[in-house]
């Protein structure tokens, strides 16, 4: 499912979602939410409230019809469904996504630094939507053959992200880069000092064990996925950003800490959505019944 609001970022999200729906062999639902009162240019002076609502809905339906027609020409094999919902955008999209496999949205925002500005709706959905949320910008720059990057911290939360990343990499024939960040080195130390070398070797070995344990069962289910593993002494956010340049997708867990108590992954998921130079998937752990 893709959320649409008429913006350039939202259209980029729809195109990304169409590609993903095709690879999954499922239909694409494109949903636009009509606020009331609608913002800015949707107001029609001199008309009654009911007529204004009808005008806003008609405008949204026309936008969605154009999108469905364009996708029908470029992807005739893809079933596209459109709908216009009413209410608060975050709440309406959360409800609409309940039966979807994932929700794809644009990171809307204005200003000279578009990668630092995350739309309020996107920020809300990262908290409220139980489905994986993929955030796409029209300014995203990523290689068509780039790897899928996933953050690993040894927690159940990152396990859900790993499963998503393996599945995506398998279907899109991408390499998987698993990143484990160990942040014990003081951040004021630019380079590891000589006395740190022995400790770092031990830390690296432990990090590789965390990666091996976390990836083992997923590798068995996806034997054709080529996997690279890296352990970093940098902060998790910085380590992931460094590896995300040119990536097809960056996948992170929604929140949480690793089993060793020192590993931070989920706390950086919002930082990734704000700053990553590629589409970002934020994956929540399965709901426990």
For the stretch 144-162, pLDDT in tens is 679 999 999 888 788 999 9
Q: Is the pLDDT of residue 192 over 90?
A: no
Looking at residue 220, its pLDDT comes to 95
How many helices and strands, by DSSP H and E, does the chain display? Answer: 8, 10
Give percent above pLDDT 90 in the chain: 47
For the stretch 100-139, pLDDT in tens is 999 999 876 433 333 434 556 777 888 888 899 999 976 6
Strands 227-232 and 148-151: unpaired
Looking at residue 108, its pLDDT comes to 65
Looking at residue 262, its pLDDT comes to 34
What's the rounded mean pLDDT across residues 40-56? 65
Looking at residue 198, its pLDDT comes to 53
Judge contact between 39 and 33, C-beta under 8 A: no
Give dist(CA 105, CA 134) in Å, integer: 6
Give dist(CA 215, CA 154) in Å, integer: 9
| Short-list 106, 45, 69, 55, CA closest to 280 | 106
What's the rounded mean pLDDT across residues 164-179? 96
Between CA 121 and CA 131, with CA 125 as vertex, the angle to 5 degrees is 150
What's the rounded mean pLDDT across residues 40-45? 54
Structure tokens at 199: 């400790």
């Amino acid at each position: 499912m893709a959320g649409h609001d008429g913006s350039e970022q939202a259209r980029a999200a729809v195109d990304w979602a169409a590609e993903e729906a095709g690879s999954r062999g499922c239909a694409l639902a494109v949903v636009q939410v009509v606020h009331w009162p609608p913002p800015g240019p949707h107001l029609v002076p001199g008309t009654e409230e009911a007529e204004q609502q009808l005008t806003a809905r008609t405008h949204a339906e026309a936008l969605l019809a154009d999108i469905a027609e364009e996708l029908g020409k470029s992807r005739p094999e893809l079933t596209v469904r459109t709908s216009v919902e009413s209410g608060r955008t975050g709440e309406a999209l959360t409800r609409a996504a309940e039966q979807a496999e994932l929700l794809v949205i644009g990171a809307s925002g204005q200003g000279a630094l578009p990668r630092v500005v995350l739309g309020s709706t996107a920020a809300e959905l990262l908290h409220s939507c139980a489905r994986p949320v993929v955030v796409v910008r029209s300014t995203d720059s990523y290689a068509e053959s780039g790897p899928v990057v996933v953050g690993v911290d040894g927690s159940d939360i990152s396990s859900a992200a790993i499963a998503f990343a393996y599945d995506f990499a398998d279907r899109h024939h991408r390499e998987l880069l698993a990143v484990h960040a160990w942040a014990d080195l003081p951040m004021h130390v630019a380079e590891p000092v000589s006395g740190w070398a022995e400790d770092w070797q031990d830390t690296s070995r432990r990090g590789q064990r965390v990666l091996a344990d976390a990836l083992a069962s997923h590798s068995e289910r996806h034997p054709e996925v080529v996997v690279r593993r890296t352990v970093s002494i940098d902060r998790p956010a910085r380590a992931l950003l460094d590896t995300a340049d040119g990536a097809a997708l960056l996948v992170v867990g929604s929140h949480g800490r690793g089993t060793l108590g020192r590993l931070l992954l989920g706390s950086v998921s919002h930082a990734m959505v704000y700053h990553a130079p590629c589409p970002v998937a934020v994956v929540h752990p399965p709901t426990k019944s």
